[in-house]
Structure 1
Amino acid sequence: MGNRIKTDLCIIGGGSGGLSVAAGAVQMGAKVVLVEGHKMGGDCLNYGCVPSKALIAAGKHAHAMTTGAVFGVTPSVPQVDYAAAKDHVRSVIAGIEPHDSVERFEGLGVTVIEEYGTFISPTELQAGDTVIEARRFVISTGSSPFVPPIPGLDSVPHFTNEDIFDLREQPEHLIVIGGGPIGMEMAQAHRRLGSKVTVLEGDKALGKDDPEAAAVVLENIRAEGVEIVEGALASEVRGSAGKIEVETKDGAVYKGSHLLMAVGRKPNVDKLNLEAAGVEPVRGGIKVDASLKTTNKKIYAIGDVAAGLQFTHVAGYHAGVIIRSALFGLPSKQRTDHIPWATYTDPELAQVGLTEAQAREAHGDKLEVVKFDYSENDRARAELKTKGFVKVMVVKGKPVGATIAGAQAGELIQVWALAIANKMKMGAVAGMVSPYPTLGEVNKRAAGAYFTPRLFENDWVKRIVRFVQRF
């Protein structure tokens, strides 16, 4: 006979969203069971956000050694120890692991079961030899890399984001299939660390982003020596370790030493037995309503598995939404219009709300688009970071979207995320006082650009000023 546990809340998956729910719920007095069959911290800590940004940082330092001439610093060829760069990646993960560990959560009062969970009824989950009966469940199992069924791929060694960070031997020539955020980040990082890199994208590289902004990023990555081939749909893979060939639909053949697959993500639902729980799957994950409840109203789904935006910070946001509902019984709904995201290439690319194309489709003639270029910012000039712009989509005086391509775009987008989340008007950003000289001034100046025609190109304003000056 196995163990049987009754609890208030059972969370399946110890990634960002699941851990946030567990920590919040147990500290508010709920009985919580957390089920995790793999690694605590999930994809973000072990295979995604954390290791990728650590490797990008290593590439940034290598690149800086080659670009100092204009500042009066003699360039030098960096001596890259690829294995040591991976040691840095591992040390960063190790530094964060205690925060996400079994020991920490057990210390908070969470019962942690290190097994995969499978539903056996609408109110019961089997995890190893334990059956958990819970008043409510939260599915936060995340996603995994999607590897398409390209002929020959199953017999050729290749990497995904789940094992590329374990590679200790530097690729001589890395071929990346997939020109989305993951593919482009890894391509630029490896190029800066000394590898030759070719990116093959079946459609448009960074195709989900604003085309004008994506062009700024791609131009710079190409200038650093990354070969980016668009419209290159892989039709066959062949070869062996160190000698890999990818043939595209048009018959072109690209040769390299290593292959990274970065074509997208798939939800982790296979082990859950959703049918037994009365939970309906959909393409991209699990069907949820605005309150993140599944078709079984006692079961929530959050994060990547909830068939929506796949970002770590979205999972954290979802956690807050369902804690209000599951713990306090209060109405709580998610929204997506204020969710930002960023691609951590150099320059960075960030978005919140609607892109220009989406805003034009949604709002038509009511839309105003304002823009401010980095080249007009004094700090950007001082650091020679003048490539890029801020673009804000405005309807009736309120921002409905913002796009930033340029240095620290991921940091700068937060002003617009704040404004949209709180339904602020453009005057709130224009009225902000930024320290001088900072890159952050680009946001204030973009907001100011919205008011320029209203103040300086308005005959009534000029008439009022002339009238007042008579006294």
Structure 2
Amino acid sequence: MENSDIKKYDLIVIGTGSGMNYVGTILETNPGFKIAVIDKDEPGGICLTRGCIPSKLLLYPAELIRTIGTAGKFGIDVELKNVDFNYIMDRMRSIISEDIESIRIGLSSDPNIDYYHDIAEFVSPYTMKVGAMTITSKMIFLCTGSKTIIPQVKGLEEAGYLTSDTVLEMTKLSASIAIIGGGYIAAEYGHFSPQWVLK
């Protein structure tokens, strides 16, 4: 391949989650930089698409229900008539979709950024293939997030399970649910941000 067929960048960033914090800072101090941003998934990273933010949007209504359940202790007579699970799920998906689209527009319209919604692979040192394009940079950030790992629990396959990815696709509320494991997303709920849950 001739070098003229390779598009050169000052920076390549794989992932559109927390890696975008670096992009903003770098462009502020280097306004002439040309940056390639690559993500095979929807833009926004795990936190937005299937992590912290959708979790908070679902957990906050549950917290409200729990609060209503304790109102009697304070002399407040409250009756909870119904919980519209599908409304709660649709609201969460709608807010997330709006934010994803906003990020997509921002990435696609920035003159300093070429946004690739595709899979990237290294083909040689500092050189990557993205779709039909071959790109290169002396500076490459791998901000690829994490992936769910299914634990080896006896009977799990037979019982069926949800992951942090598929739980957001639920259309029917389960009578009960068991949670295996707990990471920073679970711990972070104690510090939820009202601008998301009340949006």
Alignment check: 8 A CA contact 2:9 2:136 kept: yes
Name the TM-score, length of structure 1 as normaliser: 0.37
Alignment check: 8 A CA contact 2:13 2:35 kept: yes
1:107 is matched by which residue type in structure 2? S
* 1:74 to 1:54, Cα distance in 2 relative to 1, 3 A: same
Q: Which residue of 2 aligns with 1:24?
A: 25
Q: Which residue of 1 aligns with 2:136?
A: 133
User: Where is the helix percentage greater, Structure 1 or Structure 2?
Assistant: 2
Q: Which residue of 2 aligns with 1:240?
A: none
* 1:181 to 1:5, Cα distance in 2 relative to 1, 3 A: closer
Shift of 1:26: 3.8
Shift of 1:127: 1.3
SS in structure 1 at match of 2:138: strand
Alignment check: 8 A CA contact 1:7 1:132 kept: yes
Q: Deviations over 1:305-330 (max 9, x none)?
A: xxxxxxxxxxxxxxxxxxxxxxxxxx
Shift of 1:155: 4.8
Alignment check: 8 A CA contact 2:6 2:134 kept: yes
Alignment check: 8 A CA contact 2:42 2:100 kept: no
Shift of 1:95: 3.5
Q: Which residue of 2 aligns with 1:53?
A: 56
Name the TM-score, length of structure 2 as normaliser: 0.83
Cα distance between partner residues in 2 of 1:181 and 1:142? 13
1:343 is matched by which residue type in structure 2? E
Gaps of 5+ in 1: 186-341, 349-407, 412-471
Cα distance between partner residues in 1 of 2:182 and 2:110? 41
Identity %: 26
Match of 1:104 among 87, 103, 106: 106
2:48 is matched by which residue type in structure 1? L
SS in structure 2 at match of 1:135: coil
SS in structure 2 at match of 1:64: helix
Q: Deviations over 1:79-115 (max 9, x none)?
A: 11111111121122134224421x2112222101111
**Count, aligned residues:** 188
SS in structure 1 at match of 2:12: strand
Cα distance between partner residues in 1 of 2:134 and 2:74? 64
Shift of 1:76: 1.8
Alignment check: 8 A CA contact 1:67 1:75 kept: no
**Whose Rg is larger?**
1
Q: Deviations over 1:227-256 (max 9, x none)?
A: xxxxxxxxxxxxxxxxxxxxxxxxxxxxxx
Match of 1:124 among 118, 124, 127: 127
Gaps of 5+ in 2: 194-199
Cα distance between partner residues in 2 of 1:141 and 1:18? 8
2:41 is matched by which residue type in structure 1? H
SS in structure 2 at match of 1:53: helix
Q: Which residue of 2 aligns with 1:115?
A: 118
Cα distance between partner residues in 2 of 1:154 and 1:123? 41
- Quick check: 1:175 aligned with 2:182? no
Alignment check: 8 A CA contact 1:23 1:108 kept: no
Cα distance between partner residues in 2 of 1:180 and 1:12? 23
User: Where is the strand percentage greater, Structure 1 or Structure 2?
Assistant: 1
Alignment check: 8 A CA contact 2:71 2:78 kept: yes
SS in structure 1 at match of 2:58: helix
Shift of 1:141: 0.4
